[in-house]
Structure 1
Amino acid sequence: MSVRTRDWLKFGTLVAIAFVFGLAFASTLGLPKKGDALESTATSTPAAVAPQVTVPVAKSVSDLSDAFVGVAEHTRPAVVFIRSQHVDRGDNQRLPPGFEDFFPNLRRRPQVEQGSGSGFIVSPDGYILTNNHVVAGADKVTVRLYDKREFTAKVVGTDPNTDVAVIKIDARGLPTLAFGNSDSTRVGEWALAVGNPLGEAFAFTVTAGIISAKGRLLAGLQQTR
């Protein structure tokens, strides 16, 4: 046997002896072994456990999409596009006193003001709910249905304080939408808006969002008690 081989055997023997003495020394000190340490930690110091929170199981994206499609298909036929027209003849914008003699034939041409908005049918015989600002001061109101039929509407009543108005068209058998109860809605619920946000180019648009808050006062609207 070579000298180098004998040296490696001596070194291995010393390492083995040191390992055995190390285990014996650790047992005399009461140090736990690896398995004992894990068991002792689990029994003597329980880990802090966060309270369990129950989260409602969300439906699949396809189910949510199908629900949106169903609501849109049901509501769009009862939504209308409203055009309003007001002719400003300038009767209250006369020339300053004394200038009429210099410009006797000067007359301000009538200005035609156009407006548009959304509404929804609330009765089969043609009553439609809309906003007051859509029809306020209008000389002519035209309603276009989802099936592209058009009617001249009559303003039945308005309430500027709540920005609500009712108009009427001469039609029968129209699809309708029922009133909901806003008190039963909850913040965080989905909501769909169907209407004509930016004129005829975006007529019968459907958008989705969530109810972000309830009971807020809207700027520009007078509130009544």
Structure 2
Amino acid sequence: MESLRNMIKFRYLLAVVMLSVLAAVACSSDPTATAEPSTASPPVTQTPGTNEVGDVAMLQLPNIADTVEKVRPAVVSIVARIVSQDRFGRQSTGFGSGTGVIFDESGLVLTNNHVIEGGVEITVTQDDGTQVVAELIGADLLSDLAVLQIPGDGYPFLPLHQNGPLRVGDWVIAIGNALALPGGPTVTVGVVSALGRSIESTPGVTLYDLIQNDTSINPRRTAVGR
């Protein structure tokens, strides 16, 4: 559990995405930068440059399509089958869905605790449509993070590190499967709206040191873990 909490110190989101999971990744104005030659890597969090045209500074927008193409193989969809029981002993089955990000080539996946909490079976769908059953390695309610293990190795991955300081106004790309829609993840774009936010995720549980952004994902889109 301690190692999972230490992971938060990387100040990295999934989104995972995301993450649900929000797998929000900060966007770079240099889409060709890579951390590993043979794997996808997260874009860096640099503020886009400007071109001076007279007295007007023209903002250079990042190449979103190139960034998405580079990181997408490491973004996965997660569905957890949840079995609950009422006070009369009657069972019912539900499902939780969200996003995860593969952060190690051995198949370690970072996602949100609320996506898999109470799940009796967790299915991970990769970008190419391959589905595998994942094992829960650990989860932390106070950070709303969880780590899964999927079988095999040699996966494309996004390493957990931060490329430079994150600033309010930096571009953010959210890539995720918050609603488990068919046809692959949804991509939206926004900016970092504020840093160091806190929200009460559930009664009695507050999440701290969050990144507020305006990137539309789902009704829980206002803040993401750092």
Question: Match for residue 136 of structure 2?
Answer: 155
Give secondary structure in 1 for the equivalent of 2:195. Answer: coil
> Matched residues, percent identical?
35
Question: Match for residue 174 of structure 1?
Answer: 155
Question: Match for residue 70 of structure 1?
Answer: 66
Q: Deviations over 1:165-199 (max 9, x none)?
A: 00001021110012243871111111100011222
2:197 matches 1:196: no
Give secondary structure in 2 for the equivalent of 1:134. Answer: helix
Distance 1:181 1:124 in 2: 18
Question: Match for residue 82 of structure 1?
Answer: 78
Distance 2:79 2:139 in 1: 16
Distance 1:191 1:180 in 2: 16
What TM-score results when the alignment is normalised by the length of structure 2?
Answer: 0.62
Taking the TM superposition and a 5 Å limit, the aligned residue runs for 1:130-141 are 130-141=111-122
The runs of 4+ residues in structure 1 deviating greater than 3 Å are 54-57
What TM-score results when the alignment is normalised by the length of structure 1?
Answer: 0.62
- Give 1:55 deviation, angstroms: 6.2
RMSD: 2.3
Indicate conservation of the 8 Å contact 1:80/1:120, yes or no: yes
Distance 1:151 1:170 in 2: 7
Question: Match for residue 34 of structure 2?
Answer: none
Structure showing greater Rg: 1
Distance 1:163 1:55 in 2: 43
Aligned in 2, Cα 1:202/1:182: closer, same or farther, shift over 3 Å? Answer: farther
Taking the TM superposition and a 5 Å limit, the aligned residue runs for 1:180-219 are 180-181=161-162, 184-201=165-182, 203-219=184-200
Greater RCO (CA < 8 Å, at least 6 residues apart): 2
Aligned in 2, Cα 1:181/1:56: closer, same or farther, shift over 3 Å? Answer: farther
Aligned in 2, Cα 1:202/1:149: closer, same or farther, shift over 3 Å? Answer: closer
Question: Which residue identity is paired with 2:137?
Answer: V
Distance 1:184 1:87 in 2: 42
Aligned in 2, Cα 1:155/1:213: closer, same or farther, shift over 3 Å? Answer: same
The number of equivalent residue pairs is: 153
2:97 matches 1:113: no
Match of 1:222 among 199, 206, 217: 206
